[in-house]
Amino acid sequence: MSARAVRFYDEHPSPATLRDEVLQGLGAHPKRIAPKFFYDERGSRLFDAICELPEYYPTRTEMAILRGCAPEIRQLAGPNCMLIELGSGASRKIRLLLETLRPRRYLGIDISREFLLESVERLAQDYPWLEVHAACADFSRNLDLPDCHGTERKLAFFPGSTIGNFEPYEALAFLQHIRRLLQPDGALLVGVDLKKDPQILHRAYNDNQGVTAAFNLNLLERLRSELGAKLDPRVFRHRAFYNAKAGRIEMHLVSQHAQEICIDGRRFRFKAGESIHSENSYKYSVAEFHALARRAALQPVRVWLDPERLFSVHYLSVAAACPPYIL
């Protein structure tokens, strides 16, 4: 069977959106830029390299969980669903589910246009029986599904603990929005990183090869290449630490000395040691995440953990009447 053509829907955020959000974030106190802006083509490749690092346990742990639970997911979701992957990146984890689930359609959604296109083309070639759609869109801005679905049940897949990049109030609004998209009988399968020994977290975000540092610093390269920012990335350092009180990893780009950077005629002053807060990665206990899901009117049906309790994969149902909860 030859591969079917991928249907592509392009709602790529415009350079004006990047500029507006960056200027607003750098004008705030403390300075910040949303982590979604890490992901240009180089940023996506660097994230892919992070997934291979020995220190970065989330990817291999989530993949091992998915390998084990695929048959149960098939039982819960049934065959012929529409599978919607949010932040699909390399579309690697979905491969662990496709043969078992046998969905009717797949829709990959990601902000990183070229990387998304390359990944879904490979997927369409490797699974010629699958109808593959892709949308380049920002899912943090009232995502709408392209007109490519029928009446089949929708199963959304949101791996990689990307949900941890949202502030908890944003994660709630996001879950509520996704719930509306999955009406009336859909479900959400979501990977969530668990609270754990801060040393394990520290190592995962401060790898020996400096790939995470390069990923963080790439944000500054992007400001230079896409917004014409006048700045020297070598004057910034990567910093990542666990903020125990907030329950999150924080990533920062720290200015090594006092300086000014200039974007679009606007000047932003940095004191020595001042940073741009570039990412939060919230960690949740199972109980905390269930409470969040229930507030979004999503029903926890099943959660799978690895033996070391590093990572969790949750199956949340839209329907009020769903099978009894199983741990």
Ligand X SMILES: C[S@@+](CC[C@H](N)C(=O)[O-])C[C@H]1O[C@@H](n2cnc3c(N)ncnc32)[C@H](O)[C@@H]1O
Binding residues (CB under 6 A) for ligand X: these are 36, 39, 44, 47, 51, 59, 87-89, 93, 110-112, 138-140, 159-160, 162
Query: How distant is the alpha carbon of residue 257 from its chain centre?
Result: 32
Judged by beta carbon, residue 59 or residue 317, the one nearer ligand X is 59
Shortest separation between residue 218's beta carbon and ligand X, angstroms: 12
CB of 119 to ligand X, least distance (A): 9
**Closest CB to ligand X among residues 61, 317:** 61
Q: How far is the CB of 271 from ligand X (least distance, A)?
A: 30
Minimal distance, residue 247 CB to ligand X, in Å? 18
At its nearest, how many Å lie between ligand X and the CB of residue 252? Answer: 18
Minimum CB distance to ligand X smaller for 112 or for 299: 112
Q: Which is nearer to ligand X, 44 or 278 (CB)?
A: 44
Closer Cβ to ligand X, 163 or 322, answer by number: 163
In the complex with ligand X, which residue's Cβ is closer, 141 or 271?
141
**Nearest distance, CB of residue 184 and ligand X, angstroms:** 25
